[in-house]
Structure 1
Amino acid sequence: MTQNAQQVDAHDEAEIRSVLLGYVEALDGRDFDRLAEAFTATAELVNTFEGYIPGGDDFTGVLATGDDGIAKAVGALMSPLDATQHFLGAIWLEPTEEGVRTRTQVIAHHHRGTGFYHTGGTYTDSFVRTGDGWRIDRRVLHTSWTTGDAGVVAGG
């Protein structure tokens, strides 16, 4: 930790965890307008996949920017699915000069009809304190593993 790093108290940590949990609740509840509340107006959403994952290149890169843009892009990707369920595991927080960096384990289940596509990975988020509380200013989803048919999510 640097001398100029933000100080994070128990209240900050609880609020950051609430943003992380609220994101997956909004995602799985198909409340994409509420999902936007997790991000800043200048946020960036980036996807990366391990090189061995077939089709991962199709989803790698900047998916969307801005709170509304992210909500629309995620909504367009998830709306065709019949169900999703995202589980968050360990959450690490590290104060930075700009705010807080978090790493959160995630397992995501995606279902359409009888098809499924399950993934596991890590959200690496850069949180900043705003007038509305802590918000994600940059999210990188790194997918480590998958199982099932990527076409379930890709629309194939």
Structure 2
Amino acid sequence: MTLHTQHIDGRDEAEIRSVLLGYVEALDGRNFEQLADAFTETAELENTFESYIPGGDAFTGVMARGAKGIAGAIGDLMGRLDATQHFLGAMWLEPTAAGVRTRTQVIAHHHRGTGFYHTGGTYTDSFVRTDNGWRIDRRVLHTSWTTGEPSVVTGA
């Protein structure tokens, strides 16, 4: 479902959706270098967790900056896993003075050996138009719930 799209061109909306889908395709396809394609060179990636989630504070805050820095940080974290699968759900787009703000529901499955850590939350992204098309300039991943063992992801 899309809200407030009366000011967003259909081609722009399709391109933004393509960036979001390309991100999870690269992530689950373990093509971590390709993740950089979704972000600007000045992008910032921040994580937040609901306060009740044990261990969430270890992953709260700015995780990385810049397209390559973000791709590297995600690759370092997810590269230790055997498999991931990210499902994108409802997506809202809203024009802003600087570009487009999106909120996208995400459910992520993380597996290492027989262990798992599943999470649910929301990507809140600030998209800007660049010479290479729409790119994410700021992403906040807010994790609302988890199940399983955090050590699957943390390696602890």
> Taking structure 2 as the reference length, what is the TM-score of the superposition?
0.96
Structure 1, unaligned stretches of length 5 or more? 1-5
C-alpha distance in structure 1 between counterparts of 2:7 and 2:132, whole Å? 18
Q: Structure 2: 5+ residue runs without aligned partners?
A: 1-5
2:93 aligned partner, one-letter code: L
1:109 equivalent in structure 2? 109
- Which whole-Å deviations, capped at 9, do the CAs of 1:89-108 have from their partners, x for residues lacking one? 00100000000000000000
TM-score by length of 1: 0.96
Cα distance in 2 for partners of 1:69, 1:140 equals 15
Q: Give the structure 2 partner of residue 155 of structure 1.
A: 155
2:28 equivalent in structure 1: 28
Percent identity between the two aligned chains: 79
1:119 aligns with 2:122: no
Aligned position for 1:3: none
Shift of 1:142: 0.0
1:1-156 superposed matches below 5 A:
7-156=7-156
RMSD: 0.9
Q: Give the match's secondary structure for 2:58.
A: helix
Helix, strand or coil at the partner of 1:124: strand
Amino acid at match of 2:70: I
Cα distance in structure 2, aligned partners of 1:142 and 1:66: 19
- Give the length in aligned residue pairs: 151
SS of the residue aligned with 2:54?
coil
Runs of 4+ in 1 over 2 A off after TM superposition: none
